[in-house]
């Protein structure tokens, strides 16, 4: 194993994981310590509007989880009954969730799942997630004004584009991979987790796919996509949420929409 391969596919995975965990923890703890009150707009690491309607901790937690898992507030509030956007967001997020879950098979080769089943399921899920991601990216290009300029910030384009590239590389790798790739990938992944690293599969698309994932792990704590990690410290869980209408009024005043 040459020095470049060792650095990118043995050292960098550990660095990426450390930055992902450490950076996300730092962001959440720093946000949790930030004063929150009637003068602020804080309902997450980013200014996300949330009407809890809570009747206790479990009610509030259920509300947040329902929002995270079903995205039901998109057609209800955010986009004016835009069910096309809701479907794109739902398919994109759940496609990514499932693809991450499928990759756990690398560390659990004892699971009795047929290779053909894994191939068809993975390719179908990846294709759906890729199509939904491209739809959301194209939609953002033409989006003018919904919830202000923050929705079309560079971070939004970078995040979606990066995930689309990762999925695209993964689909190409899976379609063109030699039969030996999966076994070699399992050996590489389990070697990393056991602290006894082995060389990665010598396949260019594997290199590109894994490198894109590693760099994304480093980027994620410093991006807007870190917001799911705010769940344990979301003030909605503790009854410290603001009235949504009042928040919207202040946002509109700041952006000059009320003029």
Q: Is the pLDDT confidence value at 29 over 60? A: yes
Estimate the crossing angle of helix 204-219 against helix 154-176, to 10 degrees: 150
| Helix (H/G/I), strand (E/B), else coil: 35 | coil
The domain that holds 128 is classified in CATH as 1.20.950.20
Q: What is the pLDDT of residue 68?
A: 78
- Note the pLDDT of residue 34: 65
- Quickly state the pLDDT bin for 235 (edges 50, 70, 90): low
Q: 240 lies in a domain?
A: yes
CA distance 123 to 201: 20
pLDDT category at 217 given cuts 50, 70, 90 is very high
Alpha-carbon distance of 185 to 15, in angstroms, equals 19
Q: 80 in helix, strand or coil?
A: coil
pLDDT of residue 84: 79
How many CB atoms sit inside 10 A of residue 221's CB? 19
Distance CA 53, CA 238 (A): 12
| 20 vs 131: CA distance, rounded Å | 27
Q: Does some domain include residue 152? A: yes
**pLDDT in the model for residue 222:** 84
38 falls within a domain: no
Please report the pLDDT score of residue 35 as a whole number: 59
Q: What is the pLDDT of residues 41-93, one digit of tens each?
A: 444 555 444 444 455 667 667 777 777 788 877 776 655 567 778 888 899 99
Cα separation, 115 vs 108, in Å, equals: 13
Task: Classify residue 128: in a domain, yes or no.
Answer: yes
Residue 222 maps to a domain = yes
Relative orientation angle of helices 83-103 and 115-142, to the nearest 10 degrees? 140
Burial environment of residue 123 by CB neighbours within 10 A (0 to 12, 13 to 18, 19 or more): middle
List, for residues 132-175, the tens digit of each pLDDT value.
999 988 887 766 555 444 455 677 788 889 999 999 999 999 99
Do 206 and 200 contact (CB within 8 A), yes or no?
A: yes
Residue 186 lies in a domain: yes
Which tokens hold the place of 222? 């410093």
Whole-number pLDDT of residue 92: 93
How far is 126 from 133, CA to CA, in rounded Å? 10
Q: Give the per-residue pLDDT at 76.
A: 67
Name the burial class of residue 220, with classes exposed (0-12), middle (13-18) and buried (19+) by CB atoms within 10 angstroms of its CB.
Answer: buried
Quick one: which of 118, 209, 121, 134 has its CA closest to 169? 209
Determine the structural domain holding residue 156 and report its residue range.
Answer: 3-33+43-255
pLDDT tens digit string along 220-231?
988 878 777 766
- How many domains, the chain? 1
- Which pLDDT belongs to residue 99? 93
Contact between 186 and 5 under an 8 Å Cβ cutoff? The reply is no
Averaging pLDDT over each range in 108-112, 184-188, 250-254, which range is the top one? 184-188
98-103 mean pLDDT: 90
Name the one residue in this structure whose structure tokens are 């590239």: 165
Q: To 5 degrees, how large is the angle CA 123–CA 129–CA 135? A: 135
For residue 216, name the pLDDT band (cuts at 50, 70, 90).
very high
Q: Is position 174 within any domain?
A: yes
- Looking at per-residue confidence, does 202 or 111 come out higher? 202
Among candidate residues 97, 59, 101, 51, the one with its CA nearest the CA of residue 76 = 51
Chain-wide mean pLDDT for the chain? 78
> Does residue 102 sit within a domain?
yes
Q: What is the pTM of this model?
A: 0.78
Whether residue 187 has pLDDT greater than 80: yes
Say yes or no to pLDDT of 7 above 70: yes
* Residue ranges in the chain assigned as alpha helix (H): 3-6, 12-32, 57-70, 73, 83-103, 115-142, 154-176, 181-193, 204-219, 244-255
Share of the chain above pLDDT 70, in %: 69
Residue 126, pLDDT above cutoff 90 = yes
């Amino acid at each position: 194993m040459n020095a470049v391969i060792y650095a990118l596919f043995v050292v960098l995975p550990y660095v990426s994981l450390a930055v992902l965990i450490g950076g996300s923890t730092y962001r959440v703890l720093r946000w949790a310590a930030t004063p929150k009150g009637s003068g602020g707009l804080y309902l997450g690491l980013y200014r996300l509007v949330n009407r809890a309607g809570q009747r206790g901790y479990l009610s509030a937690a259920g509300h947040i989880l329902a929002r995270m898992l079903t995205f039901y507030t998109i057609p209800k509030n955010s986009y004016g009954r835009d069910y096309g956007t809701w479907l794109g967001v739902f398919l994109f997020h759940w496609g990514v969730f499932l693809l991450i879950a499928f990759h756990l098979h690398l560390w659990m080769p004892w699971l009795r799942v047929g290779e053909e089943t894994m191939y068809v399921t993975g390719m179908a899920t990846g294709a759906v997630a890729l199509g939904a991601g491209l739809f959301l990216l194209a939609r953002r290009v033409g989006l003018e004004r919904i919830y202000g300029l923050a929705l079309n910030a560079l971070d939004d384009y970078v995040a979606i584009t990066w995930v689309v590239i990762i999925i695209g590389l993964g689909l190409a790798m899976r379609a063109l991979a030699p039969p030996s790739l999966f076994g070699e990938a399992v050996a590489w992944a389990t070697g990393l987790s056991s602290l006894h690293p082995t060389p990665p599969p010598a396949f260019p698309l594997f290199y590109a796919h894994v490198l894109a994932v590693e760099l994304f792990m480093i980027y994620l704590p410093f991006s807007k996509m870190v917001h799911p990690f705010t769940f344990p410290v979301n003030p909605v869980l503790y009854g410290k949420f603001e009235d949504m209408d009042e928040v919207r009024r202040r946002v509109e005043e700041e952006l000059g929409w009320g003029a």
